[in-house]
Structure 1
Amino acid sequence: MNGGRLSTFCLLSFFNVEQKRRMKAEKKAAEKEAKLKDQVEQKKESNDQGAENASALDEETLDPNQYFKIRTQAIQDLKGTAEDPYPHKYHVDLSLTEFIEKYNHLQPGDQLSDVVLNVTGRVHAKRASGAKLIFYDLRGEGVKLQVMANSRSYKSEEDFTAINNKLRRGDIIGVRGNPGKTKKGELSIVPSEMFLLSPCLHMLPHLHFGLKDKETRYRQRYLDLILNDYVRQKFITRSKIITYLRNFLDQMGFLEIETPMMNIIPGGAVARPFVTYHNELDMNLYMRIAPELYHKMLVVGGLDRVYEVGRQFRNEGIDLTHNPEFTTCEFYMAYADYHDLMEITEKLLSGMVKHITGGYKVTYHPDGPEGQAYEIDFTPPFKRVSMTHDLEKIMGVKFPPSDSYDSAETRKFFDELCAQKGVECPPPRTTARLLDKLVGDYLEVTCINPTFICDHPQIMSPLAKWHRSQKGLTERFELFVMKKEICNAYTELNDPIRQRELFEQQAKAKAEGDDEAMFIDETFCTALEYGLPPTAGWGMGIDRLTMFLTDSNNIKEVLLFPAMKPDDKKTAAPTDGTSV
């Protein structure tokens, strides 16, 4: 009896164990089947996404014109839909720079899920890491931020797929999401939404290859700025130079002014002007070559300290240091002379260089990055040399007396000296032009560090005041850096009778073929008759100074839109590392 009950109990126990085993095996098999099914679906999704990514990748291999056509049509199809590719507005919480500064302290793996921010930038790279994780390099303001787009963090998988299929390199996008850092420690934004704000219809060159062709860089400066951060930095430095200039002069009590850019008579410098025509007035006007005469008329009117930062126009050659339109700063200071201006120049430039670069010395490559490097030392005081006296020493020749420089004999002397030394001077071979060529070939070339070349002959300086102790010379200086003039200044001539005489000499030179000689400006002479106080005037070329402080050997590098010959070819989008 007991044995029977024991057998029954053992049998039931066996069946229970067997049932549990079968249920466990069935559950495991079901889980395995479900897992296999998920893997198949994921693989299918991955293949679909891979196909989409491959399609985007294939687009990168297209001819630029084909790419433009396909991309333009794709964007055209979005117009008029809820996904307008050109929205009117997008709210930005932080710039990329501010985002990096604020959240760079995060630890690897951190994600601030309770912080939602909007940032914007241009897509420079797009990398897929599977179907549900895509990385973007977002650039703007000279910095980069990674976008780590994860389908799990996005508002929906459908929207995630749609936006990522839509975006291309070069697009300007908005990203709403959480700050975070990857496990490898790269600061990122993890988006819950992304928006196309402005599509790039052209194939953007890759940063790896960059944009190196100079013609393309100068003609398409916007593309140059997109791809080359060093170009952006040059123009930031240029802006700092102008800001420093303005602050320096404002603190000295100068008043910033604006004067006409079109004039009945071009004056204030020895240069060839541009001529334009005014329909209503039925007359020719000249684009200004310098604002000097207007400034001095304002000093006559009682504005004792004035300055202007603006464009000048000279119809002359284009080379590495000359552009037809260029930017200068000019100031005029009553009750000062050229000695005062030398001290101001030293203080201004040395302070500016230290403020911008952190020291007084800069490295410059006049022949480009591969050429010889020179160190330019802006530590004050700057070297000072006398134009004619030092030129005599360098050449080992005794010049005629400075008070005879306007004679025919002196002109003949310098004419023969230039011929003897092989110094070229195209007609008209006036004394002023011959002497200027000699100074350029023998004296200016010695000026690497900032050097004042002082006391120019009167025949070279029709607006400068005569020298107090050396007859025939003027109280004028030019500041040269790396063999190039960047400043010109002098004690101003304020005798109206003498000024008119010098204008008449200039008119005679113009009649003899010197198209750079000055016109007679009766309006200015009349203003002088009311009394110009003792005054000193100063001008500086901002473009050339920017070249030295950005190590640029071509003036086109520091002009956003330099003068270029017309390009008759129809331009297409540039491909990697190539030009249009």
Structure 2
Amino acid sequence: MAHYDLRVDEETLEPNQYFKIRTQAVQALKGMGEDPYPHKYHVDMSLTEFIEKYSHLQSEDHRTDVILSVSGRIHAKRAAGAKLLFYDLRGEGVKLQVMASSKFYTSAMEFEAINNKLRRGDIVGVRGNPGKTKKGELSIIPIEMTLLSPCLHMLPHLHSGLKVKETRFRQRYLDLILNDYVRQNFVTRCRIIAYLRSFLDQQGFLEVETPMMSQIPGGAVARPFVTHHNELDLKLYMRIAPELYHKMLVVGGLDRVYEIGRQFRNEGIDLTHNPEFTTCEFYMAYADYNDLMKITEDLLSGMVKHITGGYKITYHPDGPTGKACVIDFSPPFRRVSMTHDLAKIMDVTFPPPETYDSDETRKFFDELCAQKGVECPPPRTTARLLDKLLGEFLEVTCINPTFICDHPQIMSPLAKGHRRDKGLTERFELFVMKKELCNAYTELNDPIRQRELFEQQAKAKAEGDDEAMFIDETFCTALEYGLPPTSGWGMGIDRLTMFLTDSNNIKEVLLFPIMKPDDNKGAAPV
């Protein structure tokens, strides 16, 4: 086989055979005193910078007066004879051609040696001149190439790609190597978080960090993960929300605080839920939920325009082959009253909200769910029954951003009672494409009333509701020192990223989502 014949055995080898041959080749290099894993390689500019700086060159230009170094991963290797090879070098989501010609290389012997070593997937450094081919392809013309890290596994071809989701999510590094759109999804995610921070910083908020583990899981209605601290022989819970800590900070005089971080909920996994997920929560003294609706509109409409260039985005809720929907983030957003509009849609007269904690009202909603064929697993509390009806009849109408407002107190144990409608609270949830995106309310700051609601939650937990809240004595004591009028807000960053990257699976926007155990751990994809 001539040294330039690139019909290498990799096309006919099994993956494990390829791995064995490649490993032996790398060991042989080490045996000859060559280091295939050098400590350092000086890079003068990124591939992106190279393309931006030299894309103006004309066909057949060759800037021999400029010598610089770039690096990247080889995705293709093509021979045009014994003394001319072309490589596709990729990195940062861009591609640069390497036009390796023996006549420009340091020596013919070294040219042959390095090109016999390199394979698809290898990470290399290239030192040479900018130029363009006869066909106008921007290239770097090397005088020297260095193997920086060999790829021991057979890299899938770009044209066939990596499409099996199981492999993509388990081997995210391979997904990022082969699929540029995946990299762009996570660039968008970073831009979302950067915009959030900038927006809140400009509003005078202070970014804080609060515990990931505590003796009592509070701040939300959810089932927690349980862990154990050996030294203290203490059961601890992974946090389900940072809310109670944030409100204690407001008691302490930090009037505007926010936190971007992980929450952990021991619940189901599906297209829109992962056991660990990222939220942004903020708390704002001397504001109410009306103020937060305006802030939410400004934040989200501004973010969507900043990232996409306009207020409207195209989203495929059933995947790329399904029907496309247009979501319009133009402010102001639609507003509906939860109980009033739900009753109106269902054409039913609900009991007065102030009776929602009675057994008679629970029976009413129990029978209503049965009548409408709405399933609700035990315990069939009023709050759970209402939540199921809400999802079945009202949430499904929320395609464009919609505020569902004024939830019953029994569904909102940390929210302040409505100033006009007894039994309701000053709370809203923002829904987009039938999914909850934000949750906010005017905070309950009456310590006596808060303790009563905690006790109701404790009763529900005793009756079998695993998601009901605990009584948090530390938080109750903090409220007794005085929490000013305050409003709080939380948003799921993963779900927002799904909308802005047109992803209908949350795993597409999590770098390393939770997966079931794999019997072939670390195996190369076939």
Structure 1 length normalisation: TM-score? 0.90
* 1:468 matched to 2:419: yes
- Which of 283, 290, 295 in structure 2 is aligned with 1:339? 290
- Which of 30, 36, 49 in structure 1 is aligned with 2:3? 49
- State the AA in 1 paired with 2:402: T
Question: Take 1:425 and 1:108, find their aligned partners in 2: how far apart are those partners?
Answer: 69
**How far off is 1:59 after superposition?**
2.6
**Equivalent residue number for residue 84 of structure 2:** 133
- Which of 295, 301, 305 in structure 1 is aligned with 2:256? 305
Question: Take 1:480 and 1:427, find their aligned partners in 2: how far apart are those partners?
Answer: 26
**Greater Rg by CA:** 1
Question: Take 1:301 and 1:287, find their aligned partners in 2: how far apart are those partners?
Answer: 24
Q: How does 1:555-570 map to 2 (within 5 A)?
A: 555-570=506-521
Closer/same/farther in 2, CA of residues 50 and 252 from structure 1, 3 Å limit: closer
**Equivalent residue number for residue 210 of structure 1:** 161
Q: Alignment partner of 2:2: what SS?
A: helix
* 1:388 matched to 2:339: yes
Deviation per CA, 1:315-354: give whole Å up to 9, x if none.
0000000000000000000000000000000000000000
Q: Alignment partner of 1:443: what SS?
A: helix
**How far off is 1:568 after superposition?**
1.5
**Equivalent residue number for residue 379 of structure 1:** 330
Contact 1:124 1:170 in 2 (8 A): yes
**How far off is 1:81 after superposition?**
4.0
- Which of 163, 166, 177 in structure 1 is aligned with 2:117? 166
**How far off is 1:61 after superposition?**
1.7
* 1:512 matched to 2:471: no
Contact 1:64 1:572 in 2 (8 A): no
**Equivalent residue number for residue 551 of structure 1:** 502
- State the AA in 2 paired with 1:161: E
**Equivalent residue number for residue 539 of structure 1:** 490
Contact 1:547 1:554 in 2 (8 A): yes
Unmatched segments (≥5 aa) in structure 1? 1-46, 576-580
Question: Take 2:3 and 2:148, find their aligned partners in 1: how far apart are those partners?
Answer: 23
**How far off is 1:571 after superposition?**
4.9
**How far off is 1:82 after superposition?**
4.2
Contact 1:273 1:314 in 2 (8 A): yes
Question: Take 2:32 and 2:200, find their aligned partners in 1: how far apart are those partners?
Answer: 55
**How far off is 1:49 after superposition?**
2.5
Q: How does 1:22-421 map to 2 (within 5 A)?
A: 48-51=2-5, 53-54=6-7, 57-79=8-30, 81-421=32-372
Unmatched segments (≥5 aa) in structure 2? none
* 1:447 matched to 2:401: no
**How far off is 1:83 after superposition?**
2.4
Q: Alignment partner of 1:265: what SS?
A: coil
Question: Take 1:477 and 1:542, find their aligned partners in 2: how far apart are those partners?
Answer: 18
- State the AA in 2 paired with 1:389: H
Contact 1:385 1:451 in 2 (8 A): yes
- State the AA in 2 paired with 1:284: K
- State the AA in 2 paired with 1:49: H
**Where is the helix percentage greater, Structure 1 or Structure 2?**
1
Question: Take 2:499 and 2:31, find their aligned partners in 1: how far apart are those partners?
Answer: 51
Question: Take 1:261 and 1:148, find their aligned partners in 2: how far apart are those partners?
Answer: 52
Q: Alignment partner of 2:103: what SS?
A: coil
Deviation per CA, 1:205-263: give whole Å up to 9, x if none.
00000000000000000000000000000000000000000000000000000000001
Question: Take 2:295 and 2:522, find their aligned partners in 1: how far apart are those partners?
Answer: 48
* Dislocated runs of 4+, deviation >3 Å: none
Question: Take 2:343 and 2:305, find their aligned partners in 1: how far apart are those partners?
Answer: 35
**How far off is 1:58 after superposition?**
2.1
Contact 1:122 1:138 in 2 (8 A): yes
Question: Take 1:133 and 1:329, find their aligned partners in 2: how far apart are those partners?
Answer: 54
Question: Take 2:470 and 2:415, find their aligned partners in 1: how far apart are those partners?
Answer: 16
Question: Take 1:498 and 1:393, find their aligned partners in 2: how far apart are those partners?
Answer: 31
* 1:524 matched to 2:478: no
Closer/same/farther in 2, CA of residues 203 and 149 from structure 1, 3 Å limit: same
Q: Alignment partner of 2:3: what SS?
A: helix
Question: Take 1:82 and 1:69, find their aligned partners in 2: how far apart are those partners?
Answer: 20
**How far off is 1:76 after superposition?**
1.1
**Equivalent residue number for residue 481 of structure 1:** 432
Deviation per CA, 1:78-98: give whole Å up to 9, x if none.
125442100000000010000
**Equivalent residue number for residue 39 of structure 1:** none
**How far off is 1:60 after superposition?**
2.6
Question: Take 1:468 and 1:153, find their aligned partners in 2: how far apart are those partners?
Answer: 80
Contact 1:466 1:493 in 2 (8 A): yes
Question: Take 1:566 and 1:82, find their aligned partners in 2: how far apart are those partners?
Answer: 40
- State the AA in 1 paired with 2:212: M
Q: Percent identity?
A: 84
**Equivalent residue number for residue 438 of structure 1:** 389
Question: Take 2:2 and 2:334, find their aligned partners in 1: how far apart are those partners?
Answer: 72
Question: Take 1:130 and 1:122, find their aligned partners in 2: how far apart are those partners?
Answer: 23
Deviation per CA, 1:193-213: give whole Å up to 9, x if none.
000000000000000000000
Q: Alignment partner of 2:327: what SS?
A: strand
Contact 1:336 1:535 in 2 (8 A): yes
Contact 1:65 1:572 in 2 (8 A): no
Q: Alignment partner of 1:152: what SS?
A: helix
- State the AA in 2 paired with 1:77: A
- State the AA in 1 paired with 2:155: L
- State the AA in 1 paired with 2:129: N
- State the AA in 1 paired with 2:343: E
Question: Take 2:524 and 2:331, find their aligned partners in 1: how far apart are those partners?
Answer: 49
Question: Take 2:10 and 2:360, find their aligned partners in 1: how far apart are those partners?
Answer: 75
Q: Alignment partner of 1:48: what SS?
A: coil
- State the AA in 1 paired with 2:180: D
Question: Take 1:552 and 1:84, find their aligned partners in 2: how far apart are those partners?
Answer: 42
Q: Alignment partner of 1:49: what SS?
A: coil
Q: How does 1:487-506 map to 2 (within 5 A)?
A: 487-506=438-457
**How far off is 1:518 after superposition?**
0.2
Contact 1:333 1:537 in 2 (8 A): yes
Contact 1:386 1:454 in 2 (8 A): yes
- State the AA in 2 paired with 1:472: G
